[in-house]
Chains A and B, each alone.
Chain A
């Protein structure tokens, strides 16, 4: 209790609150601009934290991290250009909702889900972080493979009656993920003897291409009708009412648990958490066919999960000294500049600092509500601009967002090629979301399968005999069979009606 009181004194000091507010605002802005992200923000701020008190400096870095994870959803919802990879799944339903004239509501759902997801994970972090870190370390390749397969089965739900097209899209995503150096044997694959594709197809340019560039190309084809077209004149962020939030309680709770759990696993991160959060929201929904058309559950699922992953990723960092994501790896630098080494000893030697970080993250998530409203309002103004002005601006941001990842022109062409692919997908009614899901989860699926099989002496049955992996795989298989059954029943009814 004394520790909590000391932490309260530290965090609620005006200077610390100011640093947290600044950090959240900066993180949200950086997250919302394609090409910039919270990892860059934290890296750039580390030298400045050197002169600060450790608690202030680390609170600032944690605040940038929380804000940055949310910020990407603003541009994903408003312009279909996710500012950060964590927000990619938010665009699946966020952008269609904005297209229906409900951008304000979509932003409101994203803000509230992010805040609640973040608060949940910090609460978990505060209460049971050492125990969770140990459980997280028991996860091995079969469990990672089972998680990836479970998320991939979402493709069956996303396709609706066009399940074959959804699977084709998912397989193309999985195929794109194999391009480059093989992680296990270091052999080049599908590089055609050149160097350009050795680094593989980065997920961000591919994502920007399939979502944003394909949209610009489709609009560019439309012709003269574009002149003077306004997307929607006025966007004002509307936070969901209490009864609307209550309707999403199970989606949010499920995603908060998923996000926190995934965040704890080293190397998986908020992007995977968001996709799994989305996939489970679809799986448990009574109307999975409505996903992708702009439903609040499609925003709450990934947004709650990705922000819950921020707290989760801090668990292995603070308790074991293992970073759970790219940004937490950078945050280690924030500890090191103050001569602190994250890990179990830090809890014993610096308990006040640890509790101050927990509390600072809690406060940062509450500040995110205000920062989200403020930044969303600023970005929403861009939707007032007609498309003949906005389209070229989005294209330039898409280009520098793709270039900024590795400072490589290849990424620009990958972006454009994926833009063309996305354009034809839209034209011929192939769903785009499975392509992205395949691309994101491809490396995890392949590597965990091959490593797991190697560990199990190439006995696939060994995967099913592990309690966690086996349960997840069986549930995933049941889910696919259920979807197939639902499609066949639907087709059967339709053909009966035709006969009658």
Chain B
């Protein structure tokens, strides 16, 4: 766990240093408090504090000699992570009405649900309820998808 924590701190430190450098792109010469003023204060403090936190973690590592599980250790959870990412990526392409039941079925199965009735019932019913509530009752648009999938979504909303 400590190894992962150290990697996380270093990741923040590297990102903060890169972003500090990036603030150079929006420096406005001649202005006292330009657009880079506040981000630089925040990033400066962040770099100092993350540095302190990393030193603390290193000290703890030395004393405990504990090199816990890696950041990448996700085992069976990996597939569930990818299911969530796939859902977000496919939503603008296939549209809400096709992607949502498919995602819900896959995610429920991955979470260990075995009742077919519940899986199918909840996936289809929730999609229908959301489509009616958001697009018909409250006029809130949902993603329609592209090409043929868009035509399909247009049949419903």
Contact = CB atoms under 8 A, between A and B. Distances in A.
A168 B139 CA distance: 40
Nearest to A173: B42
A392 interface: yes
A412 B88 contact: yes
Given A36-B140, A427-B4, A428-B5, A391 B38 contact: no
A349 interface: no
Interface in B63-82: 71, 74-77, 80-81
B91 interface: yes
Of A172, A190, A396, A424, most buried by chain B (CB within 10 Å of CB) is A396
Interface string A4-24: 000000000000000000000
B78 to A, nearest CB: 9
Interface string A423-458: 010011000000000000000001001100110001
Contacts of B112: 224, 226-228, 388
Q: How large is the interface on A (under 10, 10 to 19, 20 to 34, 35 or more residues)?
A: 35 or more
Given A185-B28, A223-B77, A404-B140, 12 more contacts: A36-B134, A171-B49, A185-B31, A224-B76, A389-B113, A392-B103, A393-B126, A400-B130, A407-B141, A413-B88, A453-B32, A453-B33
Interface string A469-498: 000000000000000000000000000000
A208 interface: no
Interface of A: 30, 33, 35-36, 40, 44, 164-165, 167-168, 171-172, 174-175, 178, 182, 184-185, 187-190, 192, 213, 216-217, 220-224, 226-228, 386-389, 391-393, 395-397, 399-400, 403-404, 407, 409, 412-413, 416, 424, 427-428, 446, 449-450, 453-454, 458
Interface string B87-99: 1100110001000
Nearest to B74: A221
Interface of B: 1, 4-5, 8, 12, 16, 19, 22-23, 26, 28, 31-39, 42-43, 45-46, 49-50, 52-53, 56, 71, 74-77, 80-81, 84-85, 87-88, 91-92, 96, 100, 103-104, 107-108, 110-114, 118-119, 122-123, 126, 130, 133-134, 138-143
B140 A188 contact: no
B77 A221 contact: yes
B121 to A, nearest CB: 9
Contact of A175 (B43, B92, B113, B119): B43
A168 B4 contact: no
Contact of B12 (A30, A168, A226, A427): A168
7 smallest CB-CB distances across A and B, nearest first, come from A227-B112, A221-B77, A220-B80, A388-B113, A388-B111, A392-B107, A182-B35
Given A392-B104, A396-B100, A220 B91 contact: no
Given A189-B26, A227-B113, A404-B134, A396 B5 contact: no
A399 B81 CA distance: 14
Contacts of A400: 96, 130, 134, 142
Contacts of B87: 395, 399
Contacts of A428: 1, 4-5, 8
